[in-house]
Amino acid sequence: MAQNQHSSGDVIADRRADYARMLAESGDHHAAAELIEQALELAPLWAAGWFRLGEYSEKSGQRDQAVKAYEKVAELDEEGIFAAPLKLAVLGAAETPEQPPSRYVEGLFDDYAERFETSLVKKLDYSVPEKLAALIETARPPGDSFRCVVDIGCGTGLLGMEIRDWAKRLEGFDISTNMLAKAEEKGIYDHLAQADLSLDEEASGLFVDEHAKGRADLVAAADVMMYLGSLETVMPLVLALLSEGGIFAFSVEDAGDDEGFVLQPSLRYAHSETYIRNLLAAFDMQVLQKRKTTIRKDAGKPLSGILFLAARRA
């Protein structure tokens, strides 16, 4: 993340941190950890430095030292930019948070925006927009368009490009302003705005002025749920957006036989089919279709996901 590059405020500490980074890039994470420790002796309140110590220690097999470093990050990083609670949970040193810190997700995608499409589509064979659009098309009004489509977590607009022709009005919302700027360049959305799906209706940013509740015939979310964890917060937002009989199309990473949702080493969440079905039923939504598929590559291997098409009961 870009936050890793923040200066410590001490020239010598920064120099040692730079050397540590070069050692880590060469694969010598143990030496990198030792050197960043020296930098932290000079800048003990440097959250980014403690985060680097956690990463280098983790990669060199020093779990206990990594845990202590991430605990220090959690203490210093009140906004959650570095997502230390997620790191601690993955290491088995803390309970799994139900949701990641919003500032972490925002910073992650602000930093990723410039290379997002090149990295995801060209290098990782990302295919959710096309596959989710094909599923949506099966529910499209015959010979007609959706009156209003709300693309939540729209990113750079990859899904929007697939479904633009089926929407009389297309709105896009994302937590990252840099991703929204990329979506704006495509010229396909009638409205774009920042929104935080982990917040309630009033604070989320989805319902402002003329953008009323119950306005959407379709709410779509391509590769969004894995950055939310528990979906108990987002479902009321989806329900409030949808008109009666409206469609909700979304993807998740497949948690397999697990009953709920799990945090993965990637710091993304995977959700089980059982969890999703129970959640939709609890919010009085009917599953219309479900498709298991490969959604992209992860560490060179196919990553399994599930696409869902559900409807709000009239």
Which pLDDT does position 29 carry in this prediction?
97
In 80-216, which residue ranges form alpha helices assigned H by DSSP?
A: 84-90, 102-112, 116-117, 128-137, 158-163, 177-186, 201-204
Which pLDDT does position 263 carry in this prediction?
96
Which pLDDT does position 167 carry in this prediction?
95
Chain position carrying tokens 């607009």: 157
Distance of CA 218 to the CA centre of its chain: 21
CB proximity list for 306: less than 8 A, separation 6 or greater: 251, 252, 254, 271, 273, 276, 290, 291, 292, 293
**pTM for the complete prediction?**
0.92
Contact 83, 104 (CB under 8 A): yes
Per residue of the chain (314 residues), what is the pLDDT tens digit?
Answer: 434 457 888 899 999 999 999 999 999 999 999 999 999 999 999 999 999 999 999 999 999 999 999 999 999 999 999 999 999 999 999 999 999 999 999 999 999 889 888 888 778 888 999 999 999 999 987 778 899 999 999 999 999 999 999 999 999 999 999 999 999 999 999 999 999 999 999 899 999 766 789 999 999 999 999 999 999 999 999 999 999 999 999 999 999 988 899 999 999 999 999 999 999 999 999 999 999 999 988 888 899 999 999 999 87
Which of the 8 DSSP states describes residue 284?
Answer: T
Buried b (16+ CB within 10 A) or exposed e, 188-202: bbeebbebbbbbeee
Which pLDDT does position 116 carry in this prediction?
86
Contact 146, 166 (CB under 8 A): yes
Nearest to residue 158, comparing CAs of 142, 175, 174?
A: 174
The DSSP annotation for 196-221 comes to: -TTS-HHHHSS--TT--TT-EEEEEE
Chain position carrying tokens 């991703």: 179
Interatomic CA distance for residues 223 and 220, integer angstroms: 10
Which pLDDT does position 313 carry in this prediction?
86
- Element holding 71 (H helix, E strand): helix 63-76
Which pLDDT does position 208 carry in this prediction?
74
Which pLDDT does position 184 carry in this prediction?
97
Q: For the chain, what is the largest distance between any 2 Cα atoms, rounded to a whole number of angstroms?
A: 68
Tokens of 296: 């992209």
Interatomic CA distance for residues 254 and 126, integer angstroms: 15
Q: Could you tell me the domains of the chain?
A: 2-95 (1.25.40.10), 114-312 (3.40.50.150)
- Element holding 170 (H helix, E strand): strand 170-174
Question: Across the chain, how many H-helices and E-strands are there?
Answer: 13, 9
Q: Please, is 283 exposed, middle or buried when counting C-beta atoms within 10 Å of its C-beta (0-12, 13-18, 19+)? A: middle
Nearest to residue 94, comparing CAs of 60, 59, 70, 75?
A: 70
